[in-house]
Amino acid sequence: MHFYYSQYDIISLMIQKYKTGNLTWVDLNCPTSDEIRQVVAEYEIHPMVARELTIPTLRQKVDLYENFIYLIMHFPSIERSSEGISDQEIDFILGKNFVITARYGEVDALFALSKAFEVEKILDHSSLGKHAGFIFFAMITKIYESLLHRIETQKEKAAGIEFDIFKGKEREMVVKISELSRYLLDFKRATSLHEEILESFANVASTFYGKDFDYYLQKLLDEYMKVKNSIRNIQEFVIELRTTNDSLLVAKQNQVTQFLTVLAFIGLPLSIITSLFQIDTEYRPIVGGPFDFWFIVIIEAIIALGLYTFFKWKKWL
């Protein structure tokens, strides 16, 4: 079994066609209406599906037609804007011996898969069976591997945040924790319906491709559960980081408040004493005598030292 693609496919930027044995993968990247009509005519795709390939679809779904299965799945996009991670739609049309993917943007996992085709690494998957379901299995597996890699990157960021928290950078980490939490929420939202979609796909694919494919359908669900569990685990870790960071911030703020309160309490009697000696009366003890300034300073120093010693003994400082 050998892989090849035609010279036309190399030249075309919108349509890439990959073949291995009798199986074909047609990848449409930002296709024009003419290119969609060309593929639809060649593979006898239902007109309703053809229309859906030209516009984005908010709802993920699985539809069974006479000669193919049509899936719409959303994945977290690679690019991240100020509004967070957007969903990237991929349409899959799965026939007996062909797979058509339609997308509007780069998908790093599909790019990696095409390279795997080129070096015939994909043959390990395709040799397991003779229908296009195995190519879809390889695609989704590759995409989930890519998602897991991105989640691992976020775990490293979370570990870095934890390190900085205990280095005394609690204030700086508030924003970073919020950004990481938002990233994970967007990631979870983009993949939240995959379990339902894959279960629906398993029901129709078992009939379309046969019971021998059931094992691989379950493997797809297992791959998704790895992604789901990884997101949940890091979200729990981020929640713990936020709780710890907030606790340290509150403790530090309480220390500052306590210090300022004690400082004000120490300064209060000193200001009262100073004010008393400033009262313009006929008789003011010490004032006017020799070394009167130093007497007042010593008295206030003794009071301040006494209060400071008391607060230290009470462990308020």
Which of 204, 228, 249 marks a domain boundary? 249
* pLDDT at residue 303, rounded to an integer: 81
Please choose, from the candidates 223, 215, 234, the residue with its C-alpha nearest in 3D space to the C-alpha of residue 194.
Answer: 223
- Strand spans (E) along the chain: 3-4, 15-20, 23-29, 61-64, 69-81, 84-94, 98-103
pLDDT computed for residue 8 by the predictor: 37
In this prediction, residue 108 carries a pLDDT of: 65
Same domain assignment for residues 130 and 55: yes
Global pTM exceeds 0.85: no
Q: In this structure, are 149 and 262 located in the same domain?
A: no
Which SS3 state, helix, strand or coil, does residue 271 take? helix
Domain boundary among 226, 249, 272: 249
Q: Which residue has the tokens 């301040």?
A: 304
Q: What is the CATH number of the domain that holds 270?
A: 1.20.58
* CATH number for the domain harbouring residue 129: 3.30.460.20
Question: How many angstroms separate the CA atoms of 140 and 110, rounded?
Answer: 9
Q: Last residue of a domain, which of 249, 273, 293?
A: 249
Query: pLDDT per residue over 182-217, tens digit each?
Result: 989 988 988 989 999 999 999 999 999 988 899 999
How many structural domains comprise the chain?
Answer: 2
Residue 288 gets the label, from left (phi > 0), alpha (psi -120 to 50) or beta, of left
The verdict on 103 and 215 lying in the same domain is yes
Are 123 and 229 in the same domain? Answer: yes
174 lies in the same domain as 209: yes
Q: What is the extent of the structural domain holding 29?
A: 3-249
User: What does the pLDDT read at residue 115?
Assistant: 62
Based on C-alpha coordinates, what's the Rg of the chain?
35
CA–CA separation, 133 vs 53, rounded Å? 20
Both 263 and 146 in a single domain? no
Q: Report helix, strand or coil for 176.
A: helix
Same domain, 14 and 115: yes
Q: Distance between CA 121 and CA 127 in Å, rounded? A: 11
Query: Which residue matches tokens 């969609």?
Result: 36
For residue 15, what are the β-bridge partners? 28
Residue 75, judged by CB atoms within 10 A of its CB (0-12, 13-18, 19+), counts as buried
pLDDT, tens digit only, all 317 positions of the chain = 333 444 334 334 467 888 777 888 898 888 888 888 899 999 999 988 988 888 888 888 999 998 999 999 988 887 665 556 778 888 999 999 999 998 877 666 666 666 656 555 454 444 445 889 998 998 899 889 889 998 999 999 999 999 999 898 888 899 999 999 998 998 898 898 999 999 999 999 999 998 889 999 999 999 999 999 999 999 999 999 999 999 988 888 877 777 777 777 777 777 877 776 777 666 677 777 777 777 777 877 888 788 778 777 777 66
Torsion of CA 13, 14, 20, 21, to 10 degrees: -120
**Do 258 and 265 contact (CB within 8 A), yes or no?**
no
Q: Are residues 195 and 283 in the same domain?
A: no
272 and 201 in one domain? Answer: no
